[in-house]
Structure 1
């Protein structure tokens, strides 16, 4: 995720950090969600008829989505190379830039054609967001928010991480993760500076950083507008007139799984805080 890259670059996090602190909760969350869906959703439904089974098997065939095998292979190899470079090279923005250039060359499209495909509205939005966040940092708004969080947490790293998890989840549910990331980064920097018990060492900061990551990813599932996949799914469902897939139904499902992930996140934060000795 792009927000993960932004945070990693800001805090100097490497792949080993992600593997140590985020990979376990990712696996745990995936297993719990799969088990929940299996026991409480799928098993309640009647098995599909034989003709529908055949349709599902046909839909799952790769040939339906892979139109050009050569392009698919090139794109797959390029993607794996970019991932490998992200692991080896610490400057992620250089990898992203070079990767974009290489993929553009492989696509054999002119620069003008590529620029036409750029969503300039999104670019303008982020430029404006960075400027707005910078102004809020200068006029003291970010410091005020940091002080509010500090008063609530009372200097306890675990409580701070839980508060950060909840706040970032709520804000991300209204915005997309990237704007929320840009907004919260200066807030947490001020918070770490104000509270030595939280920001003194990497060990004391780790629960809060984990909470930030979890909040950004969990919050995007509370409301459909916070997660691009939800928006795309709703758009497709509306076009092909899928019954039962509405904003209300997606919100209901999103809230249910977001709360489940949040409980898992709090439990994981408690475990990490205890292991690091900062609880």
Structure 2
């Protein structure tokens, strides 16, 4: 292992310890970690670092969606939707829980998870505020639904796009392969949540809305803006427009249409600590990729589980699951793709690679639910919870919530792949 690889690994371990222990703010931890890596020259070319490892698509998507959410939130759009959901559910917390999680999963299959979370969390918080209840359970359950729903389709999660392009898989290929276990997993996880939190979900809750006065014109504008954004995301491949361009542009359009005189106020709604957290995390993960640590993990996987297709499939899912819980799943997916492609040259019994593409997809996507930084949607959801409800979720709290349902999803994915393909 090279000196640069050792430095990258040490920095990663220290940063993770600081995040888990919460001794300092997570954004400070990752940014300082990224600074140390660049200061010691782990990256030979700083220009290459920012071009290849810092995902500016995600950064500008976050900024744009934060501006859009701020604009439509200022006119009470989310409170209005919350009011309608409560009326439709006839004041039942259980029905609201099922309804919101269903739509979060559905949206995440066609729109990126971060966008979905940023649309639904404000609605959830408005409902919780009206019921005077702690929104944490709802928010964390929606994180699960978002990550599971994103596994369903080719465009639902970035790793699926990488896998689809590499293996020349179609939208329907994902629907009929990852879509089936994702639907099963979602239903099982929701049933688990309902049983575990049944006392909370069945409690008698009286919703109290103060006299709400909504501007009909502003509500219509908000609905149209949100609809346009979602449609642009759904058809972005055909339009050949990056998601970051859509979000960033529509963020400013929404302010222009709804509240053009208060631009500075909406700028204050941008969660800059979250933005810098992502930048630092991208750099640290990039160092692990650049120094070959992720590739070594991939090679160890192929060497230790490469005897039979069935054993390798299990090893691939389990390894992908746990690594994606702690690392950005995009670089790991990109690293595993060439490893899977070279399997037939190692062993003739690996001639059919299809099962391994699905195993990789399920492992990396489901693994995002394991920790609070396992997926971008997790980080955004917790940040919004802290900002708007003043309720923080520690690393340990999230792990306590996620451990059992995450393992359930892992078991389902293993059983599905083994039964269907091997």
Instruction: Name the TM-score, length of structure 1 as normaliser.
Output: 0.69
In 1, Cα distance between equivalents of 2:255 and 2:386: 34
In terms of mean alpha carbon deviation, does 229-238 or 213-222 score higher? Answer: 229-238
Q: 2:158 corresponds to which residue?
A: 2
Q: Answer yes or no: is the 8 Å Cα contact 1:156–1:198 preserved in 2.
A: no
The equivalent residue for 2:326 is: 174
Query: 2:171 corresponds to which residue?
Result: 15
Contact 2:194–2:201 at 8 Å: present in 1 too? no
CA deviation after TM superposition for structure 1 residue 167, in Å? 0.8
Q: Within 1, Cα distance between the matches of 2:335 and 2:391?
A: 42
**Compared with structure 1, are the counterparts of its residues 198 and 208 closer, same or farther at alpha carbon in structure 2 (3 Å cutoff)?**
farther
Q: 1:36 aligns with which of 185, 189, 192?
A: 192
Q: Secondary structure at the match of 1:53?
A: coil
1:70 aligns with 2:216: no
State the distance in 2 between where 1:186 and 1:93 align: 26
Kindly indicate whether the alpha-carbon contact (under 8 Å) linking 2:302 and 2:339 is maintained by their aligned counterparts in 1: no
**1:76-107 Cα shifts (integer Å, max 9, x gaps):** 13312431354xx3xx9645366457636744
User: Is the partner of 1:13 in helix, strand or coil?
Assistant: coil
2:250 to 75, 85, 103: 103
Structure 1 residues 44-93: Cα deviation after superposition (integer angstroms, max 9, x where no partner): 458433xx3324xx59x9x7xxx74313322213312431354xx3xx96
Instruction: Select the residue among 198, 201, 206 that pairs with 1:53.
Output: 206
1:256 aligns with 2:404: yes
Q: 1:93 to 1:253 in 2, by over 3 A?
A: farther
Partner of 1:276: none
CA RMSD of aligned residues (A): 4.1
- SS in structure 2 at match of 1:28: helix
Shift of 1:5: 2.7
User: Relative contact order: is structure 1 or structure 2 higher (C-alpha 8 Å, sep ≥ 6)?
Assistant: 2
SS of residue in 2 equivalent to 1:224: coil
Give the conservation status (yes or no) of the 8 Å contact 2:324–2:368. Answer: yes
Match of 2:304 in 1: 152
Q: Provide closer, same or farther for how the CA distance between residues 107 and 45 of structure 1 changes in structure 2, counting only shifts above 3 A.
A: closer
State which drifts further: 248-257 or 258-267.
Answer: 248-257
1:225 aligns with 2:373: yes
- C-alpha displacement at 1:262, in angstroms? 0.6
Q: Structure 1 residues 156 and 97 mapped into 2: Cα distance closer, same or farther (>3 Å)?
A: same
Change in Cα spacing, 1:100 to 1:10, as seen in structure 2 (3 Å) is farther
Q: Per the alignment, do residues 194 and 35 of structure 1 end up closer, same or farther by CA in structure 2, a change over 3 Å counting?
A: closer
Distance 1:46 1:191 in 2: 44
Establish whether residue 206 from structure 1 lines up as the match of residue 354 from structure 2.
yes
Question: What secondary structure does 1:223 align onto?
Answer: coil
Q: Is the 8 A contact 1:155 1:198 kept in 2?
A: no
Q: Give the Cα separation in 2 of the matches to 1:103 and 1:199.
A: 50
Unaligned runs of 5+ in 1: 274-278
Q: Deviations over 1:4-40 (max 9, x none)?
A: 3333334333211211111111111111122222334
C-alpha separation between the residues in 2 aligned to 1:200 and 1:228? Answer: 33
When the two structures are aligned, how many residues end up with a matched partner?
A: 249
d(CA) in 2 for partners of 1:76 and 1:133? Answer: 38
Which residue pairs with 1:163 in the alignment? 315
| Deviations 1:229-272 (CA, angstroms, capped at 9, x unpaired) | 444555535974659x6543321120110000011101110133
